[in-house]
Amino acid sequence: MADVIIKECREYDTEVIKAQINAGMELLGGWGRFVAPGMKVLLKVNLIGPKKPDSAAVTHAGFVRALVQILKNLGCEVWLGDSSGGAIAGIAPTAQSFQVSGLAKVAEEEGAVIKNFDREGAVGVKSESGYVEGMYLAKPMFEADFVINVPKLKTHSATLFTGAVKNLFGCIPGLKKAGYHRLAPDPRDLGTVLYDIHRAVKAGLHIMDGIVAMQGEGPTAGQVYPAGKILISTDPLALDTVAAAMLGMDIAGIPMLLTVKERGLGTADMDKIRIAGDYASPPVLQGFKLPKRYRRTAMGNPAMVVKVIDFLRTRPFINTKLCKNCNMCVESCPVEAIDQETKIINYKVCIECMCCHELCLHKAVGLRQDNRLAAFLMNLYNKVTAARAARG
């Protein structure tokens, strides 16, 4: 059995968050089961890019502050680490992300240490699946005595959902992330890469910031949704299975997590997950908007998932009226599919990794549906579900 704790928490108030996390940890056997005074504890946050705390794109600074205070109080040395996506002129924007997200301020005020994964060196590890020859992952993940994965609850335009499993993709330093997207453009293959990362780094605890979530076309271009939840588990797949169920999703419709399940990273069977805390089953978030690519009809049938994804195929396009010509998308595209001058995407080359959509800070990269019938049905579906939600 895997345990997933769900605690209710409606605000980024440090004392309230601390109380709820500590209460949740008691149900998992207490902090003493995981950490001891003097240990170096790394919080692997979600710092996808230079986004403000209230954007719902990054782990909220208030959430991280609460965790730092808890761990410092337990006598631990606390590190905050991640590598952001994207690259401008060959430099990944992680340092800027630490500033804009407010995490640099948290570190300074609370006495935590920033570990910018792009500057700390990398460790070569074997790929357990054999999908890639070897991988290079951020050194602090191996130097810390204990790693806590601190993901954000979000949708994802390419992988549909992003939580505890996907958050460790940021262990790949800087520009190397684009290389893995190129190697594994299909979410099922990306699932294998994520399986390998989890096997290599062994994060011992996963604490999700689901107080304010992102809905729609996440992980950066969606809208905020006040979800009011904190999820805690030692099993990243069990945590994501419960979190996805809260959003109205089933992992049978999330190819990346299906792969992770098939490889045996954790538990995805609801009958084998014990939910405790403020709920005994996943509380469904009413009216939560799912990404365009996800459809409930795909559930339970992996072959059907592929057909539905093909039918609903969405591609990125650049709205030049919104574009600020920063070239983040151009320099981050793993296959150089975007023309620097015209911002036209070469769809013969594009692998639909959605990095451009994910990384544009100006929401200038939209998603367009290939199939007109699919676009029409999607609009209809969205109108009907919005009307139902409005009726309550």
Q: Site for ligand SF4 (CB under 6 A): how many residues?
A: 26
Of 325, 384, 386, 389, the one binding ligand SF4 by CB under 6 A: 325
**Contact 172/242 with Cβ under 8 angstroms?**
no
Q: Which stretch in 159-167, 256-264, 267-275, 332-340 sits in contact with ligand SF4 by CB under 6 A? A: 332-340
Instruction: Report, in Å, the least distance between residue 190 CB and ligand SF4.
Output: 12
Helical (H) or strand (E) element with 190: helix 187-201
Which candidate, 204, 249, 160, 286, places its Cα nearest to that of 36? 204
Instruction: Report, in Å, the least distance between residue 5 CB and ligand SF4.
Output: 36
- Pick the closer one to ligand SF4 by CB: 268 or 337: 337
Of 351, 375, 377, 378, the one binding ligand SF4 by CB under 6 A: 351
- SS3 string, 204-228, reads CEEEEEEEEEEECCCCCCCEEECCC
CA angle 234–279–159, rounded 5-degree value: 55
Of 337, 367, 369, 374, the one binding ligand SF4 by CB under 6 A: 337
Binding mask 352-381 for ligand SF4 (x = CB under 6 A): xxxxx---x-x-xx----------------
Exposure letters 172-200 (e unless 16+ CB within 10 A, then b): bbbbbbbebbeebbbbbbbbbbbbbbbeb
- Pick the closer one to ligand SF4 by CB: 267 or 314: 314
**Contact 6/281 with Cβ under 8 angstroms?**
no
Q: Which stretch in 193-201, 245-253, 302-310, 343-351 sits in contact with ligand SF4 by CB under 6 A? A: 343-351
- Pick the closer one to ligand SF4 by CB: 126 or 362: 362
Query: Residue 390 and residue 373: Cα distance in Å, rounded?
Result: 26
Binding mask 81-120 for ligand SF4 (x = CB under 6 A): ----------------------------------------
Please state the φ and ψ torsions of residue 335, each to the nearest 5 degrees.
-120, 15
Residue in the structure block whose two tokens are 């730092």: 68
- Pick the closer one to ligand SF4 by CB: 285 or 365: 365
Of 326, 375, 377, 378, the one binding ligand SF4 by CB under 6 A: 326
Exposure letters 250-276 (e unless 16+ CB within 10 A, then b): bbbbbbbbbbbbebebbbbeeeebebe
**Contact 352/333 with Cβ under 8 angstroms?**
no
- Pick the closer one to ligand SF4 by CB: 95 or 326: 326
Which candidate, 11, 2, 1, places its Cα nearest to that of 230? 11
Query: Residue 40 and residue 147: Cα distance in Å, rounded?
Result: 9
- Pick the closer one to ligand SF4 by CB: 2 or 328: 328
Q: Which stretch in 69-77, 206-214, 333-341, 369-377 sits in contact with ligand SF4 by CB under 6 A? A: 333-341
- Pick the closer one to ligand SF4 by CB: 201 or 359: 359
List CB contacts of 224: < 8 A, sequence separation 6 or more.
54, 55, 56, 212, 213, 214, 215
**Contact 232/278 with Cβ under 8 angstroms?**
no
- Pick the closer one to ligand SF4 by CB: 209 or 352: 352
- Pick the closer one to ligand SF4 by CB: 126 or 324: 324
**Contact set for ligand SF4, span 209-268 (CB under 6 A):** none
Instruction: Report, in Å, the least distance between residue 74 CB and ligand SF4.
Output: 41
- Residue 323 makes contact with ligand SF4 by CB under 6 A: yes
Query: Residue 330 and residue 350: Cα distance in Å, rounded?
Result: 12
Task: Catalog residues that contact ligand SF4 under the rule CB under 6 A.
Answer: 316, 318, 323-329, 333-335, 337-338, 345, 350-356, 360, 362, 364-365
